[in-house]
Amino acid sequence: MFPSPKLITKPITYLKDEEITLLLDTIKTGDGLTKHQQAFSDKQKTRDMAMIYLMLSTGIRISECVGLDIQDIDWEENSILVVRKGRKYSNIYSDETAAELLGAYMEEREEMELESDNNALFISRNGTRITPRSVQRLVKKYASVAVQSKHITPHKLRSTYGTNLYRETGDIYLVAEVLGHNDVNTTRKHYAALDEDRKRMAAKAVSLRKE
């Protein structure tokens, strides 16, 4: 009997489809939040929904998300210009739902009393660009109610998108490009567990004829 090899990487944490639904429903309804939390969420849920859905549906980093300016959005193409690590620029594409949620948020943003030179897309309740720490807190607030069995952070939203994209396409190079990884081996390392799943599927996909 041969000993099992040690796992080099541990499986990544990501949200399943039903957990994504629970998370978004929590943002929308506020069910499960404390009265104090719900008071703040009622004022910011349009922004929170747009921001969290955008991260879930594009895989952008938290730094890329908070760094977005209004002019980075191309409404006709449903594309967003993000600044990657190393000050590299890249266009990412969003779906119609993201565009609708961003549009609803922009209507609210236009009613805010902001400085004329404030071009930040996502605004805090103080009227300034939202910070990564604030995004971490609000993701934790909603996720701790919706998905209590997992520790969900903004990076786990990114992992969720990467996981879904890889499962749908099987193209590790596309995943690396969309996520903004400079080295595809970084992507392979993160999604090694999914590669093992694909290998298991391959073993079952081909049946040799028994004599």
Catalytic pick from 43, 85, 88, 200?
Answer: 85
Catalytic pick from 129, 140, 150, 155?
Answer: 155
Asked about 151 being catalytic, the answer comes back as no
Asked about 191 being catalytic, the answer comes back as yes
Burial of 114 (0-12, 13-18, 19+ CB in 10 A): middle
Catalytic pick from 158, 161, 166, 190?
Answer: 158
Catalytic pick from 47, 141, 156, 181?
Answer: 181
Burial of 76 (0-12, 13-18, 19+ CB in 10 A): exposed
Catalytic pick from 14, 161, 166, 191?
Answer: 191
- Which residues lie closer than 8 Å to 111 by C-beta, 6 or more apart? none
Asked about 85 being catalytic, the answer comes back as yes
Asked about 36 being catalytic, the answer comes back as no
Q: Give the three-class secondary structure for 84.
A: coil
Fill in the DSSP letter of residue 5.
P
Catalytic pick from 61, 109, 141, 156?
Answer: 61
Spatial CA neighbour of 44 closest among 123, 117, 111, 120: 123
Query: Looking at the annotation, which residues are catalytic?
Result: 61, 85, 155, 158, 181, 191
